[in-house]
Chain A
Amino acid sequence: MKPLAELRGVGKRYANGTVAVSGVDLDLHDGEFVSLLGPSGCGKTTVLRMIAGLAEVSDGRIDWHTPRDLGFVFQEPTLMPWSTALTNVMLPLKLRKTPAREAAARAEAALAAVGLEDFLKAYPRELSGGMKMRVSIARALVTEPRILLMDEPFAALDEITRQKLNDDLLALWDKSRFTAVFVTHSVFESVYLSQRIVVMAPRPGRIAAEVRTDMPVPRDPGFRTSPEYAAACRTVSARLIEAMAA
């Protein structure tokens, strides 16, 4: 099947001559969960921003075989502090001129899907870090996008909240099977979430290796301590160490 998008020799060069990303070839397949894994400064966020159209591609090209229908989750929750959770989630629909009544109903459903049906009228400052991230995810999913881009969304959260959100994100993905591109610097998170892990290396940012892990979704409760999970983490760690050494 044809991929949704193909990145061919994609590079990013800044005006001062710095090469942030170079020669990235990557296919995004329908319904796949891909992680971009690497240390800070390896250009994974830049690749994500180029896919989103938020950063210009300076070398190579991205070929789209589908309308660019995206949701984006930032590192920070990036909510409007003057709006309630509901109004924040309604924003993408409002910008696309969806009638208010329909927008409200869909935003309510999206918030319910991330477990926040009791916090529709809450302002961001009244929510915990994890809840704010849930609102952010609800906002990204409210348009039911083909592709969901996430830029280290859980990096600032504590381990317990992060694991819970990983489970919930995976459940959401399993239900709607959008294409997910997840940027992270955590080996464990990348293995837990994805079917395919793209290992990136710095200076210049490039793809160093790809690891495919085909393990059943939804993960069962013992998954985090299973030998398969440990083995996959070992493999990915080894690729990451090789990438850093090269």
Chain B
Amino acid sequence: MSVSTLNTSNPHQQDIQNILGQANRVILGKNGQIKLALSCLLARGHLLIEDLPGVGKTTLAHTLARTLGLHFQRIQFTSDLLPADVLGVSVYERERGNFKFHPGPIFSQMILADEINRATPKTQSALLEAMEEQQVTTEGETRPLPTPFFVIATQNPAYQIGTFPLPESQLDRFLMCIQLGYPDSKAERELYLGRDRRDMVADLLPASDPGVLPALQRQVAEIHVADALLDYLQAVLDYTRQTGRFKTGLSPRAGLAILHSAQAWALIEGRDHVTPEDLQAVLPAVISHRLRSIGETHLSDKESVQELIAAIPIP
């Protein structure tokens, strides 16, 4: 076996490269975040973006939707938004004499739930339940959501007044939580010089066939996970449970989340197996919103995850 053949060629590898390339052309200097978002999507999870307005959250969601050829809906969450506004409502039609269900915006393949923390807990949980169960139950009737179904929620961390922060148990429903952050100066210059992003998004064509995304999602599950890697994963989980740095350790569900994300990341990297690097790449995004440090650490959650990585030797 030689190194050149190490990366087993994947029939859809080109598709992945196309998707990434297209997204990178629109959103500049955010390759890592785009890859994380894509791996979240491939691992069939939902994404939470915590950041200030105007750094390109909407653009990212929109670009991904267009590139993948998914039906996209944006829901702006406000404090007066009702569950029915999200899920849909049955309206009595006098001509027919019965109720007709008008599906809400949730019945699309990709949803951008903007500023999710502005809505009341009732509305939030309506969305989150739908996310979890992949179906909507209203008035005793259960309606499946389309597949693939992918929610990108955004949350503004800076202005918390009058908001309803998502409780920890709800945060767990998001596979990953990422920050976009400001672009670096080079990317920012390019942004100013280039075309209007909204136009660019509108002009985007799907970079792959509609069947590619489900195929890729199926491939994620086949990415090989070696025993040595599981040892590493368990070391990470044990560390969060036993060192006493964190209020509660990671749950087995979080462990699965790490594993699936790392598999998706490995797929994007063009590998048929997960390496510790893959796991480390997704770890901050997967666990930072699931852990809360105790004591008086002056570190942000991301930093404390970096410290956690540095504290665990790779077995």
Question: Do these two chains interact?
Answer: no
List chain B positions with a Cβ less than 8 A from chain A. Answer: none
Q: Which A residues lie at the B interface, using CB under 8 A?
A: none
